[in-house]
Structure 1
């Protein structure tokens, strides 16, 4: 165990829930919990560079090795789905949602490179985080793509993998940018797309039914500095960073 602890570290109860998914017989000179998982959460929370990890963690090359390995395995997204089911059951709901809300968030990219383009509507040069959440704001689907791509180009790629993991979904709520996908979504997935119109006819800010939930999830991202901008060269690295943040948020609900 490290002597110095950080707010981003896993608690003992959270590690008890996760330890089975990282079980191994391999002997190491470092702890997967204290020196690797906590280090990755530290990066996502503080936004620091890999090479600038504090000395009490494992060497940055070791930490990044596991980040890359778990990214390629898709392990964190799988664990997130399991923890999200547990968080829903804690509130008395079914483990799987019957409705999802989808939306995009345009985020400026740094000069690190990788896929990027200009979102003319939101005036952002970078990428879009395309997410699907349940009515509690928990993440079930995620794809990161160039900001200039329209939502309808990626909606099915976002939802198709979710459909392979969830059996209860019947309805997807979305804003008017997704109009025209109703028949395709019904044909491909058997889901009903419900486009939500703003309740307010007057100009200005309004809270749209259901869609405020996905906006709240984007607000949660603001508490994780690595998600403030797109710092990753690869889009799957960006997706994994988001999954780590949402995993910790879901775990907090179980404490």
Structure 2
């Protein structure tokens, strides 16, 4: 890596992938002050490094200019659009259809800071903060994310996340979920036409066993055990967790957190697409 580049800076190959997704007017507007590529580098520096906007290094554009772009993109949903376009490109290059037919839903509770904004207490996770309701495809790439106070139950949060998504993802027929989304089954079938399949261990909810005389009860395994399909969303949370700005919810607005999540997933996809096709898997 050249000494004057940060690890988060876009390479020429990565810029060639993502630059096509920004309009000519955005390029012209950014170039009047600072190059758009360097503005995006600044956003990625904040995202991966977990720094405050005012701590932007002096060799990147001024933090006020970078933040103004971020705020504009938050308001017009730009990074969600970029994420969608890159995800479809990546699926196509993997030999899959652009639109997924199955997905997985899960939530992640994270602590908030003193920044303010809506928050709540998740009694199950013992966390005061917010939840990230996330829908991913079978590759683990983000389809949709909604951030809300942590005291909102996953059933209500799932409805908030999934409402209307059958119009955006008409090919989806099956969604894998954990037991917290059990109450969504009828709603999803009636409103979206989707089947929600709850994935759980065979011993979940078992209170006792009916045994024949002399028969020993089956042993319930101890510790953590990976569940089929459920691990896909958990892996996505691990990918996002590499970005220090997402280690907590530092944002005053939930929409800012959502924008950072779409940006993080977009950066992951850009890196994949910038590689030669033989290295995509």
Match of residue 211 from structure 2: none
Aligned to 2:258: 239
Tell me the secondary structure at the aligned position of residue 183 of structure 2. coil
Deviation at 1:3, TM superposition (A): 8.0
Q: Is the 8 A contact 1:172 1:191 kept in 2?
A: yes
What is the aligned counterpart of 2:233 among 198, 211, 214?
A: 214
**Larger Rg, first or second structure (1 or 2):** 2
2:95 aligned partner: 92
**Is the 8 Å Cα contact of residues 198 and 207 (structure 1) preserved in structure 2?**
no
What is the aligned counterpart of 2:35 among 31, 36, 39?
Answer: 31
SS in 2 for 1:194: strand
Deviations 1:209-236, CA, capped at 9 Å, x for gaps: 1000000001112210000001000000
Q: CA distance change for structure 1 residues 165 and 229 in 2, over 3 Å: closer, same or farther? A: same
Structure 1 segment 77-226 matched on structure 2, within 5 A: 77-199=80-202, 201-226=220-245
Q: SS of the residue aligned with 1:181?
A: helix
Match of 2:277 in 1: none
Question: Is the Cα–Cα contact under 8 Å of residues 17 and 273 in structure 2 kept in the other structure?
Answer: no
The aligned residue for residue 16 of structure 2 is 16
Is the contact between residue 110 and residue 127 of structure 2 (CA under 8 Å) also seen in structure 1? Answer: yes
Q: Distance in 1 between matches of 2:268 and 2:99?
A: 18
State the alpha-carbon separation in 1 of the partners of residues 72 and 55 from structure 2: 20
**SS class of match (1:253):** helix
**RMSD value, Cα:** 1.5
Cα deviation, 1:16-73, whole Å, max 9, x if unaligned, reads 1222332224441310102x10000000000010001001111111111100000000
CA contact (8 A) 1:199 1:208 kept: no
Distance in 2 of aligned mates of 1:159 and 1:219: 22
**Runs of 5+ in structure 2 lacking a partner?**
204-219, 275-281
Normalization by structure 2: what TM-score?
0.87
Give unpaired runs (5+ residues) of structure 1: none
Q: Please give the secondary structure, in 2, of the residue aligned with 1:106.
A: strand
Distance 1:15 1:165 in 2: 27
Residue 58 of structure 1 is matched in structure 2 by 61
How far, CA to CA, are the matches of 1:6 and 1:169 in structure 2?
A: 39
Q: Distance in 1 between matches of 2:21 and 2:273?
A: 17
1:202 positional shift: 2.5
